[in-house]
Structure 1
């Protein structure tokens, strides 16, 4: 896979290529006003571009100027929040993440204990109100109510008072300000009534309201914290796959030794015993075993790997013992790149989130203003301080900026996380928007709709050429190539036990062929059209060409010293799941098309077998771009699916590039979505989860907005008492997060493919 390190998104101007990037974990943020304040302060500084994610409690910062990490950390802390920089080695960063996760668990436990304490003190306060519903006379003296409410106001309310003071010191306002104002108003009014009227104050006290508000909000924050943390389970599970140690094989007969993963070097050999997690990316040098790659690719069944096969970090070994030659370590492993890609997607910013952030920035001052107007309005209409105060307090505590801030990031984290668990990696949030509008899905053939493992099945010889000589020389020139047909030639030479020389002056012509020299002889290998353009007479193989293409074979012509010497036919079986994958896409109303550099007759046969809407063969990489441009020019939104070097330009040009994970780094680097296993049915699944995630974001934003639009007027008109308003406020953000977490139930539904 390609290196896909996350780059911070910012509502400000985009960072330059020379900018330095930092990631900070930010503690103490309670609502969207908090995250907006941190982001606003950072972006106000020239040369700093920041994006703050409330759901993940992190800030991604890009710096074009002279500020270092310490300066950024100080800026965040000056806003009243804690900040810690993610830095160091892989193990150090993992340890830091584990400590932070444990701190958050401790905070959750503390919130729960606070809730239990608060609930014990609050239940007696609300009992008379509940008893009244059943016609039971139950009253508590004002002094008993004060004795129960005071500890709640002081102990439980302390966290909100601290947050409010920090916000106000920084000339800002957040949810803590609303809670502190609302509960203090209810408590102080009740305290005044108690001190003034004594036992006669019963019926005019709101101690139960202030206590119930704090109890319910603390409970809601506890639920919200658990839900927010579980939304990131997929990324946390991926990070947990990184082993801390590896068993390195000793040299010259020395015993194996367990060493820290940082001490493993390229060229080392690592032994992986049954049941162990693979600590490095490597190729199997000895042994064979099945590996569980479910968390990496979504593949539920163990995969058999033998000598020469590659295994990746995080895969769980089955019953066999294997020895690996190390090919990648640390940040260069496939697992590390998957983590970066998921991390990048989850910290992205949706365009609609900018509107929510702008509202959040002014939300609290506006709500305080509305509460003041509510108080004055009730005084003018009713003349009762008590009625005016109750309505104003209800307005303060029902307003919730949290739901607005959590609507987008929680859905994004949950959606991209569950996609990753199912083997679908979404590069960034813009993919979700584009996936909704796809009208055409264009496929490459080799390695996408076919197995990508062609075998040499036919050869037509000319001009006295020897079959063994032709195959050996073609293999010599192409043995360093990753092209499927080149690999098929090398494999054919190995199966025949041929002595393969060394190719010299080898030059590849993308999408056409290759030229080079073997033992002084010049060779041209590639399409018949490629050889013809280079002055090679090709009419002699016209009959053989037609016959092979009619059989559905892919062809490669070989010229030596300016003469055509062979026409080689390769068979690449269509993937068993391709037909059902195409059928599912067509059921979704999408048009399907095949563009391939292979011969038109071969491509037409594949298209007929799979039921594609349109096929075009003999298409060069440049012409693939033209075909895509033509579709886009007609107003179509095009998804391109491919896996080869030839596909990279088309993947980049398409509105939505989808790379098969079995493909080249270049193809994957150009794609917006990467499928971690070579199953083309995941194309439809990727479009589905992208659409579901985008839809969930809009659902959350709608409910967050509508909740405040409806709730605040109800409170202002006295239709909600403070306790009910507090309950509604507490569970508004919980409902948004819970709605987002419904995405975690999504899974890829794949029908068992048939050979029909």
Structure 2
């Protein structure tokens, strides 16, 4: 089948661009009559085959003229098993313009990428509805036009199913007591015969069971029968055929008994009714569990307040957060949550940022510091200027990342989908074969036994558990990871990270703090450490150099009074000089001391020691004499050594890749326990280093935070960005660590492995359950043991199978962080620099 489409293309600037784009399209198999229009930026083409447009998009991308695409999410109803997932995917993928279609049973969503201008989300929803699965377009928060969130929908679904289950149970109980009670207690059987009679009891059972099937169980028939007639049977079809067969056989026995031999005149009303009750109870438990799997996003969304106090026309006013615009001044009082992201402009206080970083300790905020929306104001009050609002806030991005990860389809799910797409037709064929075998070779009453075995096969084999096995674990695992400060931006990273064998680390900002600090101050004879630090800081207070800032921070942290500096002069490439407290002060490199003729021989031993430890040394001279040696370094984060030890304890090979000097890199590696170092490399060389590490056969995870890390993050099997790093690094990564240190890597590996183990457990149960119990339901044990599985037991086992999978996935909500605050030694105060005497 061929389809004519008009697609939109980026990058068309001239006639030669048109020619190249047209040539790229002409070379794609399944694409014909391609015509590119420069004026409209569009291309008209005829495609044949489901994958032709996908190949056309790839060809245009390679030629440098990418097709404009958009994404949409649909909330899909009426999906009950893994076979439904396959059918919805096929229906959506067949819609014109669709490039990717992924359907998730646990979230009941379809994630789509389609060519812009070819089709609309509303038309995609209609395509799903035409396949028998009504759909609505979802918003960014996961809600639909009705305004319901996923958790609210599951709660409403659970309440509706619970009502149906209660009504069905009330109608079924008399049927069950009359029929099964008579078999278990002979006295009850005789009592029924002596009072109303068996004929009347059958009529009563007929009325009650028909009410169950036509009332609470009607959905199985209204959904299952049309699906069966379309040649696309699903779980509802299995239940409809199974219960319908039991009911129809019983109706014949009740009203037309002459059509059946005397030996097989029996009714199975109780089987049909109890099956409906048990499956409804199972669906109620599923709906409740599904609601809990999506609770992570619901909690994240609940962190954002509905209103905020904003300065307007010089007066504070409470307004809806949707009305806040960048530049507004937002007031934050104790106990309130920040409405949007911003920068503190006035006041001081402490903010609880645990919802972002996972760290329980409040963070001091002062003018110039950043505020993240959703964090809680503790002591103090402040005003801050809104910088990012609405969908641009950090919290909104986190919700979006978690939602994307939860809706993703892991590679392991592909095999499951291919199997389950044909599973229901295969089950129906197996049930039909079971009936035929029993009728041909079964003992008397063969017809009754054939009915029981066939219905049992239909009911027990519903593939609900198969469809839920993977997506529920992904939902719960990624939700729990977000609570631990680990955001999986791409769902497949969850699986890839579990098989990583090498962790490559950037140094600056990843292993270290990312800013220089004063680490050592060695005074010479006749000078006191505090005296020299105050004089040096007074001079450096006039400089914007990072090293100068480090010296000033150290003096301020120690509470030193700085003398007034006069005559400040920057000596380019050497250092700075000024008069401070009436004394001439020089601060700079050895070459500055040499130029000024100042003897530094007393400090040579200390210089060699500091160089061996990767420190950068500079001198302070007062009134023409060497006063002290100051050492500056980018300090290691307090958690780095413990995190690296934990990674090595997990069997990881840990490698540092840095553009810093080899001696500095080796010093940091020695301090943190890293055995392998690749130093003095440019960004492109980092990418090559990642490729070299991969040659050993193990997957490589790269952890970084800077712009120069983006190529390596993108090239690694799993790129992990420190969340406090640059936006470009985060956009290149698969996983984002909001805590800003390496403990997040340990936690990410832990949650990945636990989630994948949980998925394998679920799949083993789901497939093993069907492989083992379908033959039992068919009666394979009957010749040896006389055991034939009751359809009621089959229904109970089927419902419990799905509940087991969901319950097992929910265990991931209790995963504890592999490393937390207690795993890290306390940070030393910034001013606690060493003051060893000069040798």
CA distance in 1, matches of 2:468, 2:640: 39
Contact 2:165–2:277 (Cα < 8 Å) also in 1: yes
2:168 to 118, 124, 146: 118
Of 703, 724, 739, the match for 2:793? 724
Q: Report the alpha carbon displacement of residue 146 of structure 1 after superposing the two structures with TM.
A: 2.4
Instruction: Report the Cα offset of residue 135 of structure 1.
Output: 5.5
- The superposition leaves residues 241-289 of structure 1 with CA deviations (integer Å, 9 ceiling, x where unpaired) of 232222111334x2x1112222211111001222222110011222233
> Structure 1 residues 646-655 or 542-551, which shifts more?
542-551
- Alignment-derived partner of residue 687 in structure 1: 749
1:298-697 superposed matches below 5 A: 298-382=358-442, 384-456=446-518, 475=544, 488=550, 546=608, 548-554=610-616, 569-697=631-759
1:184 to 244, 249, 252: 244
Question: In structure 1, which of residues 166, 174, 178 is the aligned counterpart of residue 234 of structure 2?
Answer: 174
CA contact (8 A) 1:274 1:318 kept: yes
1:70 aligns with 2:141: no
Question: Alpha-carbon deviations, 1:404-423, whole Å to 9, x = none?
Answer: 21111111111111111111
Shift of 1:107: 2.2
Of residues 309, 321, 340 in structure 2, which corresponds to 1:247?
309
Question: CA deviation digits over 1:287-324, x for unaligned, max 9?
Answer: 23333333333223433333322121111222432211
1:287 is paired with a residue whose SS is strand
Paired with 2:381 and 2:475, the residues of 1 have a C-alpha distance of: 37
Is the 1:297–1:676 contact (alpha carbons within 8 Å) kept by the matching residues of 2?
yes
Give the drift of 1:87: 4.3
For the 8 Å contact 2:706–2:725, the answer to whether it is kept is yes
Q: Distance in 2 between matches of 1:133 and 1:300?
A: 63
Deviations 1:584-619 (A, max 9, x none): 112111222223333333333322232222234434
Which of 290, 293, 316 pairs up with 1:228? Answer: 290
Query: 1:537 aligns to what?
Result: none
**Conserved in 1, the CA contact under 8 Å of 2:404 and 2:491?**
no
Q: How many residues align?
A: 693
Post-superposition offset of 1:485: 6.4
Q: Give the Cα separation in 2 of the matches to 1:340 and 1:681.
A: 23
Runs of 5+ consecutive residues of structure 2 not aligned to the other structure? 1-49, 58-65, 193-200, 523-534, 574-588, 591-600, 620-628, 783-787, 828-839
Partner of 2:136: 84
Task: For 1:377 and 1:94, locate their aligned partners in 2 and report how far apart those are by CA, in whole Å.
Answer: 49
- 1:98 aligned counterpart, secondary structure: coil
SS class of match (2:215): helix
Counterparts of residues 257-276 of structure 1 (less than 5 Å): 257-276=317-336
Corresponding residue to 2:214 among 139, 150, 154: 154
Give the Å deviation of 1:441.
1.9
Q: Could you state the TM-score of these two structures normalised by the residue count of structure 2?
A: 0.75
- Quote the Cα distance in structure 2 between the aligned partners of 1:626 and 1:284: 41
C-alpha distance in structure 2 between counterparts of 1:29 and 1:276, whole Å: 41
> Cα gap change, 1:74/1:379 in structure 2, threshold over 3 Å: closer, same or farther?
same
2:808 corresponds in structure 1 to 739
Hey, what's the Cα distance between the residues in 2 that align with 1:402 and 1:363?
11
Change over 3 Å in CA distance of 1:390–1:133 after alignment to 2: closer
- Tell me the distance in 1 between the aligned counterparts of 2:693 and 2:115: 39
Q: Aligned equivalents of 2:699 and 2:608: distance in 1? A: 36
CA distance in 1, matches of 2:67, 2:294: 29
SS at match of 1:666: helix
1:581 alignment partner, SS class: helix
2:116 paired with 1:56: no
The verdict on how the C-alpha distance between 1:243 and 1:574 changes in structure 2, with shifts beyond 3 A counting, is same
Say if 2:132 and 2:227, in contact at 8 Å, map to a contact too.
Answer: yes
Cα pair 1:194 1:201 within 8 Å, conserved: no
Question: Is the 2:540–2:549 contact (alpha carbons within 8 Å) kept by the matching residues of 1?
Answer: no
Residues 339 and 374 in structure 2, CA contact (< 8 A), matched pair in contact too? yes
Q: Secondary structure at the match of 2:273?
A: helix
Q: Distance in 2 between matches of 1:731 and 1:474?
A: 70
Mark the CA change 1:691 to 1:100 in structure 2 (over 3 Å): closer, same or farther: closer
Contact 1:142 1:202 in 2 (8 A): no
The separation in 2 between residues aligned to 1:299 and 1:467, in whole angstroms, is 35
With over 3 angstroms needed to count, the CA separation of the structure-2 counterparts of 1:301 and 1:28, relative to structure 1, is farther
Q: 1:524 matched to which residue of 2?
A: none
- Give the secondary structure class of the aligned counterpart of 2:313: coil
1:282/1:324 contact within 8 Å kept = yes
Q: Which residue is equivalent to 1:32?
A: 82
Match of residue 11 from structure 2: none
Cα deviation code 1:448-507 (max 9, x no counterpart):
2223342256899xxxxx9899968972xx7xxxxx769758979999888999x9xxxx
Q: 2:7 matched to which residue of 1?
A: none
TM-score (norm 1): 0.83
- Measured at CA, do residues 754 and 494 of structure 1 come closer, stay the same or move farther in structure 2, by a change above 3 Å? closer
Aligned to 2:598: none
Kindly indicate whether residue 824 of structure 2 is the aligned counterpart of residue 753 of structure 1.
Answer: yes
Q: 1 CA distance for matches of 2:762 and 2:70? A: 33
Taking a change above 3 Å as real, the CA distance of residues 244 and 357 of structure 1, as seen in their structure-2 partners, is same
Matched residues in 2 for 1:94 and 1:707: separation? 36
> For 2:457 and 2:101, how far apart are their aligned partners in 1?
33
CA distance in 2 between counterparts of 1:343 and 1:707 reads 31
- 8 Å Cα contact 1:216-1:727 kept in structure 2: yes
CA distance in 1, matches of 2:689, 2:566: 43
CA distance in 2, matches of 1:279, 1:367: 54
The answer as to whether partners of 1:471 and 1:493 remain within 8 angstroms in 2 is no
What corresponds to 1:4 in structure 2? none
Q: Shift of the alpha carbon at 1:362?
A: 2.0
Distance in 1 between residues matched to 2:256 and 2:230, nearest whole Å: 37
In 2, Cα distance between equivalents of 1:499 and 1:634: 60
Alpha-carbon shift at residue 394 of structure 1 (Å): 0.8
Q: CA deviation at 1:110?
A: 1.3
CA contact (8 A) 2:86 2:417 kept: yes
Judge conservation of contact 1:554–1:602 (CA < 8 Å) in 2: no
Say which one has the larger Rg.
Answer: 2
What SS class does the counterpart of residue 188 from structure 2 fall into?
coil
> What do residues 346-399 of structure 1 show as CA deviations (whole Å, max 9, x unaligned)?
111122222222222222222221111111110001262111111111111111
Q: Point out the more displaced range, 95-104 or 282-291.
A: 95-104
2:273 counterpart residue number: 211
Indicate the residue corresponding to 1:523 in structure 2: none
Residue 96 of structure 1 and its aligned partner are, at CA, apart by 5.2
Q: Following the alignment from structure 2 to structure 1, what is the Cα–Cα distance between the partners of residues 684 and 182?
A: 79
